[in-house]
Structure 1
Amino acid sequence: MFDRVYRQRLEADLAQWEARGVIAPATVAAIRGALPPATPGLNIPVVIGIVGGLLIAAAFLAFVAAHWMEIARLSRMGILSAGIVASNGLGAWFARTERPILADLCASVGAVIFGAGIALVGQMYHLGDDFAGGMLLWAVGALGAAALTGSRGALAVALAAASIWTCLRIAEIQDGPHLPFVVFWLAAGALALIWNSRVAAHLVALAALPWWIATATQVILFDLAPFFILANGAALLLGGGMALTATPWQRARDAGGVLANYGAFLLAGVAAMEVIVANDMLRPGSDASLQPAWTIACGVAATIAAFAVGALRRQAGAAFAGAAMALMLVAAIVWPLRTLGEPLGEPWPGYAVVLGAMLCLVVSGMFDGSRARTVAGWLGIAGAIAGITWAVKGSLLRRSAFLAAAGVVAIAMAAALNRLLPRSET
């Protein structure tokens, strides 16, 4: 999809440049000849075929489930096996006839039928006591199918099943992270790198979010500890992604850019939520040092990585991203601070640190030309301002004074940067 959009924009630009005489027709022909063959995209027949395939798969599963008790056990296994073989066989035929989208769909349907087979067989033999184990089996089978067929849909099924599996395990243990999922996630990430697929990179990056969210919310440990844990997770995704973008391998750089974008949006979401729930969840005397040590280590390591990328590659954007992460980690310490004169004063230092972090995120995206990072920073600023303005508790007059002071500081920073930086960068 991204290649198709790029080609359309390039064709429009080439036609415009040629009409204006900027480039010669021979140069236009040379540029078009240097482009790799266009990948086949979705068209109306393919879309209708995808819908038809999904409907047939749903009808198959519904029919088997409706007559499950009437079918002999051996026949049940045969029907499920036949469904898996038929879908993958049809996918192989589509792949041979150069219809990759339909081939991917068939592999995905086969992975779904495999999961349904696990559920139905588990019901048949009364194996429902370990539902999480069944999800793990489904995830491993779907990941194997993805590795053998190159199906992005099967990879999506595998990551969805693995996310359910890890969330169930985290709810059971309630004592630290579920590390086996990390191994599964790294295996899926290796597939995405081997395929050099942007879609697969998005799927892998997205699958990291449920694990961090479930880990942060498994037990409400200490005041805003869930948000602080998420902040460290967001920093790890953002900093780790930026570290990958500094490697000499193009595949790693592409995947790192996707991972960093998801980390930026998660960091912005955490910033907004911290401000919104500050007066409801935050209590005086909370101790930020009671956060799990491993989460702090993740956040600190990612922040150091971002600063290292900025220093080694002379990237101001990476340095500002590191500053954004550092400020969000500092927020764990400054949130408990209070103004005097009220039983539960406003956490002004926390507000200031979060706004500063999101401002650094915006500047980072602008320096590096990262639209996703810039948008995430603006969303974080909007969420923080909304949380400060519309909080039920506290003095609205003081909030307005705080926002005005923050605006004056921001304008002063803009004036200083305007003098220090070249005009082309401001």
Structure 2
Amino acid sequence: MFDKTYRQRLEADLAQWEADGVIAPAAAASIRTALPPLSPGINIAVVVAIVGGLLIAAAFLAFVAAHWTEIARLLRFAILLAGMVVAGGLGAWFASTGRAVLADLCASIGAIIFGAGIALVGQMYHLGDDFAGGMLLWSIGAFVAALLTGSRGALAVGLVAACIWTCMRSYDAPDALHLPFVAVWLLAGGLALAWNSRAAAHLVAIAALPWWIATALRFDFDGVQPSFVLANGAALLFGAGLAIAAAPSPRALRLGAVLSIYGAFSLAVVAVLEVITVDDIIRFRTGTAPAQPLWAMLCGIAGVILAFVSAKLTNRAGEAVAGCAIGLVLLAAPIWPASTGGEPWFAYAALLCAMLCLVVSGVLDDVRPRIVAGWLGIAGVIAGITWAVKGSLLRRSAFLAVAGIITVVFATALNRALPRSER
């Protein structure tokens, strides 16, 4: 809350209120005194120091790589071990002097060198050819570093390694869900919640996407439509984010808000993917398997329920409308196969209504990212209906015209129903 942008806006408001006589100068001074000090942030000197440190590290790595075959095995391992020790020592010194950004950078470099050490030991001693297992070990080490130092960079390294690990495991065993990654992701989410860090929350939200994508694209999913599986993942991320943000805790509010933003954009992307990728696949499917597995559908239903629970807890109409948006995107999946003999007009209508609900939800709750996601979804769905799918362009133009007329009539009725102050 007390970031630089907020403080600048608050300072401008205090000056304006004081000039207008709304508050006394003494009250404005008391407010300024009560505010906590701003964190130093990243200045030009820190940026230059980071670039210099990266250049020195790159020079060291290039030198070692140029003479790699000439260096004895034990010396190679000692170089990497010394690199981790030096990175940790510098990080501790930077932390003790209050340079948190540089300390975080050192912890991140140490986590990266740890991964290089795992690869080196495996290469030197010809260990088992389990690359995914090595990524898991790297992820564990990076998470330990993040837990001990509070480094967001080390958390990022750990999540990247974990995402590579789960993608490889999903490729190696496509007939089973790779659930261990869920435990790793929950651990990262717990760290983001404990740190109350927006940067960590963004990392956790991004890390959820590769698992769903890898799961949706598994090769042995006979007849399963990837965009329908991804829709359930987006629904769960969106609904869970709203529910976490509804908890009576500033930490939960920050984490949940970030998760819901990524969920909203994921929902918009999935709606577009359904339009541009599903139709031909559904039309020419010959298998009898369902277009989405039961566990995925349960995840989507849980996302809808969580969104409405959040709306009940917060008494926000926008979150209830967001729940409707999630439900409409999920509803398009069972509607689609029913239209194999013609155009899936009802599925198109459901997706357009879902994106409109997403925009309305953002407007009601004054959440700009949700509004942007909804508008992007509307644009993508309309473009997909118009150009990306085979069929009569004349019928599609008629459908879009009818949808536009209905939307304008609805907007007119809504404008008349709202009080003048809310128009």
Change (3 A) 1:424 1:304: farther
Distance in 1 separating the partners of 2:289 and 2:386: 25
- How far residue 176 of structure 1 moved from its aligned partner, in angstroms, is 3.3
Looking at structure 1, the residues matched to 246 and 273 of structure 2 have their Cα atoms a distance apart, in angstroms, of: 31
Check 1:203–1:339 CA distance in 2 against 1; reply closer, same or farther (3 A cut).
closer
What SS is found at the alignment partner of 1:282? helix
- Show the counterpart of 2:353: 356
Q: Counterpart of 2:167?
A: 167
The answer to whether the Cα contact below 8 Å between 2:246 and 2:313 also exists between their aligned partners in 1 is no
Alignment of structure 1 residues 226-237 onto 2, 5 Å: 226-237=226-237
Q: Secondary structure at the match of 1:175?
A: coil
Q: Which moved more, 1:104-113 or 1:70-79?
A: 70-79
Q: Which residue is equivalent to 2:28?
A: 28
> Which residue does the alignment assign to 1:70?
70
Alignment of 1:320-399 (within 5 A): 320-338=321-339, 345-391=342-388, 393-399=390-396
Instruction: Report if aligned partners of 1:288, 1:332 keep a CA contact under 8 Å in 2.
Output: no
Q: Indicate how the Cα distance of structure 1 residues 322 and 139 shifts in structure 2: closer, same or farther if over 3 A, else same.
A: same
Cα distance in 2 between the residues matched to 1:242 and 1:347: 31
Q: 2:312 aligned with 1:315, yes or no?
A: no
Residues 81 and 423 of structure 1: CA distance in aligned 2, closer, same or farther (over 3 Å):
farther
Q: 1:288 Cα shift?
A: 8.0
How many residue pairs end up in the alignment? 422
Per-residue CA deviations over 1:229-267 (Å, capped at 9, x if unaligned) read 100000000000111111112211210111011111001
Equivalent position amino acid for 1:152 in 2:
R
Residues 194 and 380 of structure 1, relative CA distance in 2, 3 Å threshold: same
Alignment of 1:20-419 (within 5 A): 20-127=20-127, 129-219=129-219, 221=221, 225-283=225-283, 289-338=290-339, 345-391=342-388, 393-419=390-416
Query: Runs of 4 or more off by more than 6 Å in structure 1?
Result: 285-288
TM-score computed with the length of structure 1 as normaliser: 0.94
Q: Read off the aligned partner of 2:347 and give its amino acid letter.
A: G
Q: 1:424 to 1:126 in 2, by over 3 A?
A: farther
Question: Quick one: structure 1 residues 149 and 202, their matched pair in 2 at CA, closer, same or farther if it must change by over 3 Å?
Answer: same
Does the Cα contact within 8 Å between 2:175 and 2:221 map onto a contact in 1?
no
1:278-327 CA distance string (max 9 Å, x none): 44333167768452111111110110121122234322111111111111
Once residues 425 and 157 of structure 1 are traced to their aligned partners in structure 2, the CA distance between those partners, rounded to angstroms, is 47
The percentage of counterpart residues that share the same residue type is: 67
Whole-angstrom distance in 1 between the partners of 2:176 and 2:420:
49
Distance in 2 of aligned mates of 1:317 and 1:127:
55
Query: Quick one: structure 1 residues 369 and 14, their matched pair in 2 at CA, closer, same or farther if it must change by over 3 Å?
Result: same
Deviation of 1:2 (Å): 7.8
Task: Give the AA of the match of 2:390.
Answer: K
Equivalent residue, structure 2, for 1:422 = 419
Q: In the superposition, relative to structure 1, how do residues 266 and 280 fare at CA in structure 2: closer, same or farther (>3 Å)? A: same
The alignment yields a C-alpha RMSD, in angstroms, of 2.0
**1 CA distance for matches of 2:21 and 2:392?**
63
Change beyond 3 A, Cα 1:166–1:272: same
Aligned partners of 2:228, 2:268: CA distance in 1, in Å? 13
Name the CA distance, whole Å, in 1 between partners of 2:75 and 2:266.
Answer: 48
Measure how far apart 1:192 and its partner are: 0.7
Q: 1:336 is paired with a residue of what secondary structure?
A: helix
Query: Per the alignment, in what secondary structure is the counterpart of residue 22 of structure 1?
Result: coil
Q: Residue type matched to 2:402 in 1?
A: A
The amino acid across from 1:297 in the alignment is L
Query: Per-residue deviation at 1:9?
Result: 2.2
Structure 1 gap ranges (5+): none
Provide the rounded CA distance (Å) in 1 between the counterparts of 2:220 and 2:283: 13
1:61, 1:128 → 2: CA distance? 26
**Is the CA contact 1:240–1:305 (under 8 Å) kept in the aligned structure 2?**
yes
Q: Distance in 1 between matches of 2:419 and 2:200?
A: 39
